[in-house]
Amino acid sequence: MSDMTGRIKILQYAHLPEPIQAGLDGLFDVTRMPESEAEHMAFLGEYGSQFRGICVRHAHIDAAMLDLMPNLEVISSYSAGLDGIDIDAARARGIAIYNTSEILAEDVADLALVLALSVTRGTIRGHDFVRTGEWERSTFPLGRSIRSLNTGVVGLGHIGASVARRFAAMGAPLAYYGPRKKPADYRYFDKVEDLAEWADLLIVTCPATDETYRMINAAVLQKLGPGGFLVNVSRGTVVDETALIATLAADGIAGAALDVFEAEPQVPAALRSDARVVLSPHMGSGTTETRNQMGEQMIQALVAFFSERGDEARLQA
């Protein structure tokens, strides 16, 4: 657990691409969190006081864990989401938090567009229609045109703004919901239910917080209506999956395209078996280029943080 060079000790709570791992190891004294969650508290009880920083991705860090790391100064996340981290507890302890939402926004927005086209035009079903030979016996049903669909974006942060630019370029009427109005040339709704009632296509891009937990519920889906489509590229917990399944079973919306799920990688059978639902395995930022950039920014955030505190020499030790 000790590094005789005196380098800054970092707890690694993430699986990283090889070049990013090499970069992190070259700058810091890195210790990896045990794989078994059952070992985490005992591990932190013994070694937690040594760590000044954490690099993390989709991991759980609560107040009790932070209590066992009294010298922790910074958390750098290899993702946009911070939903596994008790942010209030970290900030109360003066711990800085960084993420990589800006970098991954463009790739996530690309996937949102792909999913929207897939669910509204039926491209996955069309693929199967040809592959199974059904095209020789019948005619494939018509889809919907994106530019004819009122498109509502839930959350106009980095990802939501990138999504909006793509759909605006395609000629879709655009509006958005968020906790506050932003300086954007799109119609603003201050209630998500009102946005859903206006929209034909509802794209969820907001972060997972206590306020957004299951925000897309039965009432919102009812407002979206039988001709409406739902796309979720944010976090699975933002959509009430039970309500979504019930709404689909009642033909309450026309279809859904989902990159994220409440208990991923477990996905309810009702969603997996529904031809109106397009599924992808939480791959919004899943390109080589973006994942490498995310890792580089995660490391750079740690380097900048400690450099500002006069620790540059220890980064080179």
What residues are labeled active site?
235, 264, 282
User: Does residue 90 belong to any structural domain of this protein?
Assistant: no
Mean pLDDT of 47-62: 92
HSE at residue 314, side-chain half, CA atoms within 13 A, is: 20
Does the pLDDT of residue 183 top 70, yes or no? yes
Q: What is the pLDDT of residue 317?
A: 46
Residues 108 and 181 in one domain: yes
Please compute the mean of the pLDDT values over residues 204-217 and round it to a whole number.
Answer: 95
Helix (H) / strand (E) element for 32: namely strand 29-32
Q: Do 194 and 130 share a structural domain?
A: yes
Q: Are residues 247 and 302 in the same domain?
A: no
- Please report, for the domain that includes residue 154, its CATH number: 3.40.50.720
Query: Is the pLDDT score of 124 beyond 70?
Result: yes
Mean pLDDT (the chain) is 94
- Residue 316: predicted pLDDT: 59
Nearest to 215 by CA among 181, 262, 158: 262
pTM listed for this prediction = 0.87
Q: Is residue 2 part of a domain?
A: no
CA distances from 56 to 33, 84, 102, 235 (A): 10, 10, 17, 17
Q: Do 192 and 101 meet the contact criterion of CB atoms below 8 Å apart?
A: no
Q: Give the model's confidence band at 58: pLDDT under 50 very low, under 70 low, under 90 confident, else very high.
A: confident
Output Rg (C-alpha) for the chain, integer angstroms.
22
Closest Cα to residue 212, out of 154, 284, 271?
154
274 and 154 both lie in a single domain: yes
Number of domains in the chain: 2
Cis before 183 (ω within 30) = no
Q: Per-residue pLDDT for 57 more than 90?
A: no
Tell me the mean pLDDT in the region 148-160. Answer: 97
Lowest pLDDT segment from 1-5, 162-166, 176-180: 1-5
Let me know if residue 120 belongs to a domain: yes
Q: Is the same domain home to 139 and 263?
A: yes
- Checking if the pLDDT of 5 tops 70, the result is no
Q: Domain containing 231: what range?
A: 103-279
Q: What tokens appear for 191 in the block?
A: 């209630």
In this predicted structure, the answer to whether residue 308 has a pLDDT above a threshold of 60 is yes
